[in-house]
Homo-oligomer: A and B are copies of this chain.
Amino acid sequence: MSTSVTEELLQVHRLPDRGSRDRAVIDAILDAGMLCHLGTIRDGRPVVLPTLYGRDGDRLIVHGSAAARSLRAGAAGLPVCVTVTLIDGLVLARSGFHHSANYRSVVVHGEAQLLTDPAAKAAALEVLTEHVAPGRWAQLRPPTDGELKATTVLSVPLDHAVAKVRDGGVHDDATDLGAPVWAGVVPLSTHLGEPQPDPHLAPDLTPPTWWDRAGGPARPATSSPEEVGP
């Protein structure tokens, strides 16, 4: 039996000082990510599937085709948990216990609505496409009715979202500081590589500029090593 989202569910129980309900913090993480993990319940079991998403103001647009068989949403919506995680670094402490990762994550609890109206669906797909590839939607032909029917799109409100962030350096016990082992943070970041054109591409078409961090706007999904403090 599904229940509504409780305040208790949104509490960050472990290391609560890393948690935040601040929408600016939440939105920044959601806008920097690209991949989410969509959790549903199917046949009484948890199911977690990766998928792409975009943020449209106060709601997440989630590409739900991979999870379509879980999506028997009624009028009340489907209980979901959508989680976005960006890893920024490995924290190598002087004890196994204090090893950690620097990360930014958002967990969204809510009732997902299946979008069915073709215009609403097309608008949501625009959000999703623009999130992953800024500026792309205007270059593409509009989706056909058949394509819209074949695509499952979910809308999840951001009313019940919580961010959790770990950054900074190593937190070792004072008694371990003299241990003869290197300790610190190894930054992790995601990079876009040189676009690989489709073999059928006409020669005068140029790739989008956002892939090139040096020459164009950086993809918001990339996190620079500078963000990980020592």
Interface residues of A (CB under 8 A from B): 1-3, 5-6, 8-9, 13-14, 34-35, 37-50, 52, 65-66, 68-69, 79-83, 85, 87, 89-90, 92, 94-97, 99, 101, 103, 105, 107, 109, 125-126, 129, 132-133, 136-137, 139-141, 143-144, 147, 150-151, 169-170, 172, 176-202, 205-208, 211, 225, 228-230
Contact = CB atoms under 8 A, between A and B. Distances in A.
Given A5-B45, A101-B132, A184-B196, 11 more contacts: A45-B81, A46-B46, A47-B109, A92-B136, A181-B205, A182-B197, A186-B195, A188-B191, A188-B193, A189-B191, A198-B230
Contacts of A42: 9
A229 B136 CA distance: 22
Q: How many copies of this chain does one complex carry?
A: 2
Contacts of A202: 178, 180
A212 to B, nearest CB: 10
